[in-house]
Amino acid sequence: MSLFKHGRYSGYLRPISYIIDLCIINLLAVSIFFKNIDPIKFIIIISMSWIFISVYSRFYEVYRYTREIAILNLIFRQFILFTLVVFAFSGFFHELNLDSKTLIKYTAYSFLVIGVIKFSIYFLLQKYRSDFGGNFRKTIIIGKNKQTLGLENFFTKNPEYGYLHKKTFNLKDKTEQELEACFNFIVSEEIDEIYCSISELNNKQLNMVIDFADNNLKILKFLPDNKEIYSKRLKYEYYDYIPILSLRDIPIEDSFNLVIKRTFDIIFSSIVIVFILSWLTPIVALLIKLESKGPVFFKQSRNGFNYEEFDCYKFRSMTPNKNAHLYQATKGDQRITKIGKFLRKTSIDELPQFYNVLFGDMSVVGPRPHMVSHTNMYAKRVDKFMVRHFVKPGITGLAQIKGFRGEIETDKDIINRVKYDIFYVENWSLLLDLKIVTQTFFNALKGEEKAY
């Protein structure tokens, strides 16, 4: 009974999930959608393709601590790849005469069923852990500080993740005897996972913990201390047999992610240009011209991807002035026209930047580009400001929906903007882009305090 409740059988969940999903995609195809195809040929090709893209996309790498949004992202990524494979199969075996509607219907049904099952297993396991105490892992923490106490609180407050925390060791004197007592406790209590604070141990003691974990088949994980390098999402690679750590992993640099983001940018910007800007531009142009002389569009040099300069377009919202390229708009700025005030409040003045997106200078979502003069100034004043130029700038961004848009009044504004921009660069996903776009739309409808 203790073995059952301990939950070591959970390692079988991944192969079982493979089998279930393979059954779904093949049964739906053979019995419902593709009744005239050779089932053997289809099953072999599609099954092998499914396994291959699942390994590539890490579709089955779902753990007890994985968040729901991450699972949804995995499902979406797998869906795109699998749809491409199915259409490739149809094109290669064109004699089967599989129409596009049937293919889309097939992949949509497949992922609807697979998604429901995947989330059902995820939530059923959480329910099983919290209500019945099964599928758990016994844990201990070595070192007592703010971070380890936070982890201990996570273990105790979230039983659905299945961690049974037994003890946190406070190594006051940091002696080898204290570590030996900790090791004895781990053995006697049959601890599964050891969490160790890097800052609480010296190199010799860390090696002792590593050796003990290896020799006793214990899972060992480390908590970073307050040193900056440990707080990064380090990328681990091998050059031959030499392990190499990269300080920053940028998801958009992945070729697949790059194609996905660029495709999203082209489709979204094309929709806005065709269905909104096509009729809105003449109206806005007329209103701008009626109030003040000057061009309809305002062009300004800004720094984009890899720090390269490009011309950023907006609807003109100010009277023509020589300082437009040097000074940012402020609250009550006398340069802003009446129609310009409305355009800025509703963010309509930013819409021409969708042409920048279509041309490839910008993205729909990304760090907002600054004027060249401001970029040079902040690069010297704000730590890690230049990191935001690892990706294309965006019409909207994470910092903007978090309240850090418009005028930079204090150093806190630009520091927080950079913080959110760096988080976006290091944690990009298409779902995050969609969330930011949706929130931007709602913010524009209700109006923002700093939209002036």
The answer for residues whose C-beta is within 8 angstroms of residue 156's C-beta and 6 or more apart is 165
- Residue (of 36, 55, 52, 54) closest to 44 by Cα position: 52
Mean pLDDT for 246-270 is 84
Cβ-contact 384, 417 below 8 angstroms = no
Domains annotated on the chain, with CATH:
2-132 (no CATH), 137-231 (3.40.50.2300), 255-446 (no CATH)
The model's pLDDT over 81-91, given as tens digits with 9 standing for 90+, comes to 899 988 888 87
Q: Tell me the per-residue pLDDT of 295-328, one tens digit each, with 9 for 90 and over.
A: 999 998 999 988 889 999 999 988 877 766 656 6
Position 210 scores a pLDDT of 85
Determine the pLDDT at residue 349: 92
Residue 241 has φ and ψ, to the nearest 5°, of: -110, 15
Cα distances (angstroms) measured from residue 324 to each of 303, 317, 410:
16, 11, 20
Query: CA 319: distance to chain centroid?
Result: 40
Query: What pLDDT, in 10s, does the model give residues 426-450?
Result: 889 888 999 999 999 888 887 766 5
DSSP assignments along 162-206, one per residue: -EEEEEEE--SS--HHHHHHHHHHHHHTT--EEEEEGGGS-HHHH
- Lowest-confidence region among 76-90, 167-181, 353-367: 167-181
Cβ neighbour number for residue 400 with a 10 Å cutoff: 26
Tens digits of per-residue pLDDT, 144-168? Answer: 888 888 888 888 888 888 888 898 8
For 192-227, the pLDDT digits (tens) are 888 888 778 888 888 888 888 877 778 888 877 655
- Position 229 scores a pLDDT of 46
b/e 243-280 (16+ beta carbons within 10 angstroms → b): eeeeeebbbbeeeebeebbeebbeebbeebbeeebeee
Span 49-57, average pLDDT: 87
Residues 321 and 293: beta-carbon distance below 8 Å: no
Q: Summarize pLDDT for 58-67 with one digit per residue, the tens.
A: 888 888 778 8
Those residues whose C-beta lies under 8 Å from the C-beta of residue 118, and which sit 6 or more positions away, are 17, 62, 71, 75
Residue identified by tokens 């050891």 is: 194
Q: What is the pLDDT of residue 446?
A: 79
Per the listing, tokens 């390098």 go with 229
pLDDT at residue 100, rounded to an integer? 82
